[in-house]
A = this chain, B = another copy of it.
């Protein structure tokens, strides 16, 4: 049911280590997490992506995660063409913005290594996390419609982000039906992902939400070659709650409840799914 983008990060047990192994070249130089910012009212510091900052060009062909963001059908020679739009990477540290609501829209983003959250902020300050993104999942689609971003995107950990200038991407699509259709699919899947989330918010109780959240994560890790059963959550209980429409205490209680039932085994952020079938039946 929650069949598309969402998020957090990391691998089986070894915290960042598996992530490093998997996501190629640049990942292994990522610094480890820095002091966290508070979820709400965090300092609106400038993001490295919004200010001119040296970007590093890394050809997609060297990226172990390229199958996640560019069409697999693309022929080798087409990869050359992509070089204009793809392969510009930037680093962001934990807690930094990739973009902010109100920023002019210019780029889409994909984490090459790392993870992020997207936050919709109500005019009165109330916040809703609309998704967590992991390696290969797109960010920034919200900005196309109004030429301005409408939500914030914040790194959950130090990350390497591919910056894809949207004008150039559209230019590439013009004349490349495969790439064009691929972009449409990405956007459509984001729509479907949010529909599923709405379904959850409208109909599932707290226990079901937490179960669905874990199942969804598990699935996305598996698709990326990580363990589906054991992973490290990059987000806090408060962030999970903000995403699921629950308070952190409720999230915590549901983790405890699922643990008591023997469906999961957690120690803080370290999470193990013991019985995924029963978890699905919650």
Q: List residues of A whose CB falls within 8 A of some B CB.
A: 1, 4, 118, 120, 122-123, 126-128, 130, 141-146, 150-151, 170, 173-175, 177, 180-181, 183-192, 194-199, 201-203, 242, 244-245
Contact A180 B188 (CB under 8 A): no
- Shortest distance from the beta carbon of A76 to any chain B beta carbon, whole Å: 22
- Interface of chain A, helix or strand or loop or mixed? helix
Please give, as numbers and ranges, the residues of chain B lying within 8 Å of A187 by CB-CB distance: 141, 144, 184, 187-188, 191
Please give, as numbers and ranges, the residues of chain B lying within 8 Å of A196 by CB-CB distance: 120
Contact A128 B203 (CB under 8 A): yes
Please give, as numbers and ranges, the residues of chain B lying within 8 Å of A191 by CB-CB distance: 141-142, 145, 187, 190-191, 194
- Shortest distance from the beta carbon of A134 to any chain B beta carbon, whole Å: 18
User: Could you tell me the distance between the alpha carbons of A180 and B190 in the complex, rounded to whole angstroms?
Assistant: 18
Contact A170 B174 (CB under 8 A): no
Please give, as numbers and ranges, the residues of chain B lying within 8 Å of A143 by CB-CB distance: 188
Residue of B nearest to A190 (CB): B191
Most buried by B among A175, A181, A188, A197: A188
- Shortest distance from the beta carbon of A244 to any chain B beta carbon, whole Å: 8
Number of copies: 2
Contact B202 A245 (CB under 8 A): yes
Among candidates B4, B120, B170, B202, residue contacting A180 with C-beta atoms closer than 8 Å = B170
Please give, as numbers and ranges, the residues of chain B lying within 8 Å of A4 by CB-CB distance: 145
Contact A188 B122 (CB under 8 A): no
Contact B198 A198 (CB under 8 A): yes
- Shortest distance from the beta carbon of A3 to any chain B beta carbon, whole Å: 9
In the complex, 16 of the A-B residue pairs with CB atoms within 8 angstroms, ordered by the A residue number, are: A4-B145, A122-B199, A130-B195, A141-B191, A143-B188, A144-B187, A145-B185, A145-B189, A145-B191, A145-B192, A146-B192, A174-B174, A174-B177, A187-B188, A190-B191, A202-B244
User: Could you tell me the distance between the alpha carbons of A120 and B196 in the complex, rounded to whole angstroms?
Assistant: 7
User: Could you tell me the distance between the alpha carbons of A196 and B1 in the complex, rounded to whole angstroms?
Assistant: 21
Among candidates B126, B142, B198, B244, residue contacting A188 with C-beta atoms closer than 8 Å = B142
Contact B199 A184 (CB under 8 A): no
User: Could you tell me the distance between the alpha carbons of A230 and B162 in the complex, rounded to whole angstroms?
Assistant: 48
Contact B199 A120 (CB under 8 A): yes
Contact A123 B195 (CB under 8 A): no
- Shortest distance from the beta carbon of A201 to any chain B beta carbon, whole Å: 4
Contact A195 B141 (CB under 8 A): no
- Shortest distance from the beta carbon of A161 to any chain B beta carbon, whole Å: 19
- Shortest distance from the beta carbon of A156 to any chain B beta carbon, whole Å: 18
- Shortest distance from the beta carbon of A108 to any chain B beta carbon, whole Å: 11
Contact A188 B120 (CB under 8 A): no
Contact B177 A126 (CB under 8 A): no
Q: A189-B145, A203-B122 are in contact. Are A170 and B195 (CB under 8 A)?
A: no
